[in-house]
Amino acid sequence: MRFRALVTAAIAAAMTFAATTGVAFADGDDHMMDGWGAGWWIVMPIMMVIFWAGIIGLAIWAVGQFTRARGDQKSPLDIAKERLARGDISHEEFERLRRSLS
């Protein structure tokens, strides 16, 4: 779970950086590439790759969140049955739990 949070934060940071790079170098006179000279052609493809990687990563994360199997969660009654089988609770306690859960 911690790895997912780290990846999500890295993607968000990369997307923010990619989205704001051009704005940071705009001087307001429609000469956005002044000062970069021939180096701008190197930065733009890198920013596009970072941007699209962020979009694709966000889509993969969203699909994973919405399609994750939710069937692996145990019901409270199943947990009570397991506790009874292990001997953690008595039969009377199990019956009390079963009645309260039903």
- If one compares 27 and 14, the residue with the highest pLDDT of the two is 14
Local confidence band at 6 (pLDDT 50, 70, 90 cut-offs): confident
The 3-state DSSP class for residue 85 equals: helix
Distance CA 37, CA 41 (A): 9
- If one compares 59 and 25, the residue with the highest pLDDT of the two is 59
Is pTM beyond 0.85? Reply is no
Task: Collect all residues with Cβ–Cβ distance below 8 Å to 82 and sequence separation of at least 6.
Answer: 74
pLDDT, tens digit, 9 for 90 and up, residues 40-99: 777 788 889 999 999 999 999 888 888 776 656 788 889 999 999 999 999 999 999 999
Range of the domain at 93: 74-102
Are 35 and 12 in a shared domain? yes
Q: Phi/psi at 28 (nearest 5 deg)? A: 90, -5
Are 42 and 20 in a shared domain? yes
Number of domains in the chain: 2
Looking at the predicted structure, is the pLDDT value of residue 29 above 70?
no
Are 63 and 79 in a shared domain? no
Looking at the predicted structure, is the pLDDT value of residue 16 above 90?
no
Are 58 and 79 in a shared domain? no
What's the pLDDT score for residue 32? 56
